[in-house]
C-alpha cells in the first residue's frame, strides 16, 4: 500500500477539505449573531453606556460576568490540557487539542468583554502609558497578556507535528495558499530525533508554565473583587474559589465540545464513552471542590452575620433565589449524581449535565457580581427603577450572544484549519484504539 494511503490523515482530511451546506449555514448564522452584536456595540459607542442596564450602583453587569466566565473557561482549558500533558494521561490524545483550542479562543473573547465595560475606549492606551502597578487592573493587564502569549506558544507547540503532517500529506485536496501556510508554520519540522526531543522538552516547559500562569491570572481576576470592601466580595477565599470554578466550567465546556465534534465530524471511533467518563470524573471532582468552597464562603458570611452580609444573603435567598439554587445546589449536586452513579453515566447524560454546569457557573458569576452591587453599605435611595435594580438590556444580551457566537465561529474555523484530533504519532497499521486510548 502507498504510505500516503496509510496516513491517519485520510480519516480527517474531509473535515479540512470540505464544508457541508449545514456547515455554511451554521457559519452564516453565527455571522448574523455577530452582525447584530456589532450593531449593539455601535449603539453603545454612539449613545453611551446609558443603553446598557448598568447604572451608578450596579456599575458592572453582564459584561463582567461574561468576562469572568470566558476567562474561566480559558484557564480551565489551560489547566486541563497542561495537566493531562504533564501526567502523560493515556486517553488524553483525542480531547487535548479541543482543550487547547478552548483555552486560546476564550482567552481572545474574555478581555473584549471588559473593554465593553470601559467608558472611554479611546483612552485604552492609557492603561499602558499611565499604568499604575498598585492597581489590580494593571496586574490583570500584565497577567492576561502573559497568559495569551503563553497559551499561544503552548498551542503552537502542540500543533507543530500536525502542521508538518499536513504539509507532507500529498493527497490533501486544498488550495495552494493553504498548503503554503502549513509549510510556513511547520517551520521545517521533519521529526528527526533531535527535533522530537527539543519539541517535547519545550512542550513540557510550556505545559508547566501554562498551569502556573492560569492559576495566577485567575487569582488576580478574583482579587479585583476581593480587594474592595464590598460585602460579599471582600473574601479571602475568592482567589482559590475562582480558580476552582474556572476549571470546573472548563471541564464542562470541554465535554460539550467533545459531544459536538464527535457528532459533526463522526469521531465516534476516536472519542468514546471512556473519554466522556474520564473528563466527567474530572468534572465530578471539581464539582465537589466547588461546592465545598461555595459552602465555606456562604456559611461564614451567614453564621457571623455582619449587617451587610446578612442583607446580601437575604437578597440572594429572595430576589436571586432561582439563580442561587441553580448555581449553588443544582450546579454542584447534578454532576455528583450523574457521574457518580454508574447507572446514569451515559454520554448523553454527562453532556446534558455539562450544559447545566455551564449555565450554573454563568449564574454563579452573576450572583457574585450583581447582588453585591445592589446592596451597598449605604442603602440605595432612588426613585428610578433602573437605578435600583439591574437588568441587562438587549444591547448587553446581544453582545453576550456575540461572545458565544465568536467562540463557536473560531472553534469551527480552527477545526477547519487543523484536525480536531491530533493525527501525528498515530501512523501505522495498529488498531486506532490501541494507539489512541
Partner 1 sequence: MEEELNKNQKNSRRQFLKKGLIAGAGVAIGSGLIAAYVDATATETGEKVKVLTTDGEIMEVDKGLLKLPRVSREESHHGIPGRKFVMVIDLGKCKNARKCVEACQKGHHLPKSQEFMKVYLLQDSEKTSPYWFPKPCFHCDNPLCVSVCPVGATYKRSDGIVLIDNERCIGCKFCMTGCPYSTRVFAWKHYKEFEDDKEPYSPEAGSPGKEGTVSKCDFCPDLIRVGKIPYCAAACPMGVIYFGDVDEDTVTNGTETFQFSKLISDRAGYRYLETLGTRPCVYYLPPVERQFEVDRGFNNLDPVIQERYKDTPYSKKNKK
Residues lying near partner 1 in the complex (CB under 8 A) are found at 47-50, 54-57, 59-60, 114, 117-120, 123-124, 126-127, 130-132, 134-138, 141, 224-225, 227-230, 233, 373, 376-384
Query: With left for phi above 0 and alpha for psi between -120 and 50, is residue 230 left, alpha or beta?
Result: beta
CA distance 300 to 41: 41
Give the total residue count for the chain: 437
Smallest gap from Cβ 55 to partner 1, in A, equals 7
CA distance 131 to 142: 10
Residue (17 or 56) nearer to partner 1, CB: 56
Smallest gap from Cβ 39 to partner 1, in A, equals 18
Smallest gap from Cβ 52 to partner 1, in A, equals 8
Which residues touch 155 (CB under 8 Å, ≥6 apart)? 100, 101, 103, 104
Smallest gap from Cβ 247 to partner 1, in A, equals 26
Residue (22 or 134) nearer to partner 1, CB: 134
Q: Distances in Å between the alpha carbon of 146 and those of 153, 205, 398?
A: 11, 15, 29
Residue (308 or 402) nearer to partner 1, CB: 308
Residue (66 or 165) nearer to partner 1, CB: 66
CA distance 154 to 333: 34
Residue (123 or 266) nearer to partner 1, CB: 123
Smallest gap from Cβ 131 to partner 1, in A, equals 6
Helix 307-318 and helix 273-304, axial crossing angle in degrees, nearest 10: 130
268 three-class SS: coil
Which residues touch 170 (CB under 8 Å, ≥6 apart)? 4
Q: Distances in Å between the alpha carbon of 419 and those of 16, 17, 95, 248, 427?
A: 7, 11, 11, 26, 15
- What is the Rg, in whole angstroms, of the alpha carbon atoms belonging to the chain? 23
Smallest gap from Cβ 121 to partner 1, in A, equals 8
* Residue appearing with cell numbers 495537566: 83
List the Cα angle 341/345/350 in 5-degree steps: 120
Smallest gap from Cβ 33 to partner 1, in A, equals 26
CA distance 401 to 426: 38
Residue (43 or 168) nearer to partner 1, CB: 43
Smallest gap from Cβ 207 to partner 1, in A, equals 31
132 three-class SS: coil
CA distance 131 to 137: 9
Residue (307 or 431) nearer to partner 1, CB: 307
Residue (42 or 187) nearer to partner 1, CB: 42
Residue (114 or 164) nearer to partner 1, CB: 114
Kindly tell me the number of DSSP H helices and DSSP E strands found in the chain: 18, 0
Smallest gap from Cβ 192 to partner 1, in A, equals 48
Residue (28 or 383) nearer to partner 1, CB: 383
Smallest gap from Cβ 218 to partner 1, in A, equals 18
Amino acid at each position: 500500500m502507498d504510505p500516503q494511503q496509510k496516513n491517519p490523515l485520510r480519516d480527517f482530511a474531509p473535515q479540512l477539505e470540505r464544508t457541508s451546506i449545514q456547515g455554511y449555514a451554521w457559519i452564516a448564522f453565527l455571522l448574523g449573531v455577530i452582525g447584530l452584536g456589532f450593531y449593539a456595540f455601535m449603539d453603545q459607542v454612539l449613545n453611551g453606556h446609558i443603553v446598557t442596564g448598568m447604572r451608578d450602583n450596579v456599575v458592572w453587569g453582564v459584561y463582567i460576568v461574561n468576562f469572568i466566565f470566558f476567562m474561566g473557561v480559558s484557564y480551565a482549558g489551560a489547566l486541563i490540557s497542561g495537566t493531562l500533558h504533564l501526567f502523560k494521561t493515556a486517553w488524553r490524545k483525542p480531547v487535548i487539542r479541543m482543550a487547547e483550542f478552548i483555552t486560546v479562543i476564550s482567552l481572545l473573547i474574555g478581555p473584549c468583554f471588559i473593554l465593553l465595560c470601559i467608558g472611554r475606549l479611546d483612552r485604552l492606551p492609557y492603561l499602558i502609558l499611565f499604568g499604575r502597578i498598585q492597581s489590580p487592573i494593571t496586574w490583570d493587564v500584565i497577567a492576561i497578556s502573559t497568559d495569551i502569549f503563553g497559551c499561544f506558544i503552548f498551542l503552537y507547540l502542540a500543533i507543530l507535528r500536525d502542521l508538518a503532517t499536513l504539509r507532507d500529506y500529498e493527497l490533501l485536496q486544498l488550495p495552494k495558499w493553504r498548503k503554503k501556510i502549513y509549510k510556513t508554520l511547520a517551520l521545517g519540522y521533519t521529526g528527526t530525533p533531535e527535533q522530537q526531543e527539543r519539541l517535547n522538552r519545550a512542550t513540557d516547559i510550556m505545559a508547566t508554565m501554562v498551569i502556573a500562569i492560569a492559576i495566577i491570572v485567575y487569582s488576580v481576576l478574583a482579587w479585583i473583587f476581593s480587594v474592595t470592601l464590598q460585602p460579599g466580595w471582600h473574601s479571602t477565599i475568592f482567589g482559590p474559589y475562582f480558580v476552582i470554578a474556572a476549571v470546573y466550567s472548563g471541564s464542562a465546556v470541554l465535554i460539550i465540545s467533545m459531544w459536538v465534534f464527535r457528532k459533526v465530524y463522526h469521531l465516534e471511533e476516536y472519542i468514546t464513552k471512556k473519554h466522556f467518563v474520564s473528563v466527567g470524573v474530572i468534572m465530578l471532582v471539581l464539582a465537589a471542590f466547588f461546592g465545598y468552597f461555595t459552602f465555606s464562603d456562604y456559611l461564614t458570611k451567614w453564621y457571623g452575620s455582619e449587617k451587610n452580609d446578612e442583607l446580601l444573603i437575604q437578597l440572594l435567598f429572595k430576589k436571586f433565589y432561582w439563580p442561587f439554587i441553580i448555581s449553588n445546589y443544582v450546579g454542584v449536586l447534578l454532576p455528583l449524581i450523574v457521574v457518580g452513579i454508574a447507572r446514569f453515566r451515559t454520554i448523553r447524560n454527562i453532556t446534558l449535565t455539562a450544559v447545566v454546569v455551564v449555565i450554573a457557573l454563568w449564574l454563579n458569576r452573576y450572583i457574585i457580581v450583581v447582588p453585591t452591587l445592589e446592596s451597598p453599605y449605604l442603602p440605595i435611595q432612588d426613585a428610578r427603577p433602573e437605578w435600583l435594580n439591574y437588568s441587562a438590556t438587549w444591547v448587553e444580551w446581544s453582545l453576550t450572544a456575540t461572545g458565544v457566537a465568536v467562540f463557536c465561529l473560531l472553534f469551527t474555523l480552527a477545526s477547519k484549519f487543523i484536525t480536531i484530533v491530533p493525527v501525528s504519532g498515530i501512523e501505522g497499521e495498529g488498531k486506532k484504539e490501541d494507539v489512541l486510548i
